[in-house]
Amino acid sequence: MEVITLQSGSSGNCVFVEADGVRLLFDAGISARQAEIRLAEHGRDIRDVDALVISHDHRDHTVSMGTFHRKFGLPVYVTEKTFHEVRRRIKIGHICDVRYFTAGETIDFGPVSVETITTPHDAADGVVFVVQDSKHRFGLLTDLGHAFNGLAETIATLDAVLIESNYDPDMLDQGPYPEFLKHRIRGPKGHLSNVDCAMLLKQALPQRLRWACLGHLSEKNNDPEVAMRTHHEILGSSFPLRCADRQAVSGAMMIGELTSITDP
């Protein structure tokens, strides 16, 4: 299994996963052109992707879903509530191949399955994902709301994870956001802090987890060095860890016999 983050953050999110010959894109929060270019940097043609799967209705995950569909011929997998909320808030244009799933169900793509897990994030019908092939399990866990019941147990079943580490509490408290927005971010429907994320990962380390990629870092309320330092303080320095870029494509992250995290 191979994972490439095309971008991860409040400016846009899109993640490519390939497993057992199945190619999937999760979320469409960047332009179709950027997605095409960034996949091409890794020798991938976006037109070979089998499906676009949408996590929730927020703009940084959905703004280009219509363009991805029309330009590249990708079927769109989304919950009905999420799709209608996106159509209400964003001009995404015509999509003729929408395939609804219900939050909590598993979507099958031949030899690959995608488990969907309902989250308490402040979206219409948000989910996160666990991608499973014949040997491996990868979690795509951002926009979580809080460390809800069952989340740690799910992480303990994974071989690798991309997980949100959205904010540093001190940077958020001292930062420029208005108080209502700070409250929303810290609240039960907002995001995980660096400490929240690290404590979740710590619970999984005695299990099968091989690496973690920190995603959805806030531009104003976090910094990759701060996030990495916090995690190393809690997890130790030997656990393989990286941060997804807020504005650019990542290196390939492999799960398998040659498990690795490489530079772009």
Enumerate the β-bridge partners of residue 164.
Answer: 215
User: Which CATH fold would you assign to the domain 144-247?
Assistant: Metallo-beta-lactamase; Chain A (3.60.15)
pLDDT over 80 at 261, yes or no: no
Phi-psi region of 9 (alpha: psi -120 to 50; beta: other; left: phi over 0): left
pLDDT bracket for residue 259 (50, 70, 90): low
* pLDDT given at position 32: 98
Paired strand residues for 52? 25, 76
253-254 and 98-100 beta bridge pairing:
unpaired
DSSP H stretches of helix in the chain: 32-40, 59-62, 65-72, 80-89, 151-155, 169-174, 179-186, 194-204, 224-235
Q: What is the band of 258 on the pLDDT scale with cuts at 50, 70, 90?
A: very low
E-strand ranges in the chain read 2-7, 14-19, 22-26, 51-53, 76-78, 98-100, 106-109, 112-118, 127-132, 137-141, 160-164, 211-215, 241-243, 253-254, 260-261
Residue 263 is predicted with a pLDDT of 44
The per-residue pLDDT for range 17-61, each reduced to its tens digit, is 999 999 999 999 999 999 999 999 999 999 999 999 999 999 999
pLDDT of residue 82: 98
> Which residue from 123, 114, 242 is spatially nearest to 189, judged by alpha carbons?
123
Q: Where in the chain is the domain with CATH 3.60.15.10?
A: 1-101, 144-247
φ/ψ of 235, rounded to 5, equals -100, -15
> 1-101 in CATH: which number?
3.60.15.10
Q: Given a cut of 90, is residue 262 above it in pLDDT?
A: no
227-253 confidence digits (pLDDT tens): 999 999 999 999 999 999 999 999 999
Which tokens hold the place of 123? 């979206």
Neighbouring C-beta atoms of residue 38, cutoff 10 Å = 22
**Predicted pLDDT of residue 12:** 97
pTM: 0.96
Tens of pLDDT, residues 144-179? 999 999 999 999 999 999 999 999 999 999 999 999
Structure tokens at 8: 């991860």
| 79-131 pLDDT tens trace | 999 999 999 999 999 999 999 999 999 999 999 999 999 999 999 999 999 99
Name which of 123, 91, 106 is nearest 53 in CA terms: 106
**What whole-number distance in Å separates Cα of residue 226 and Cα of residue 171?**
10
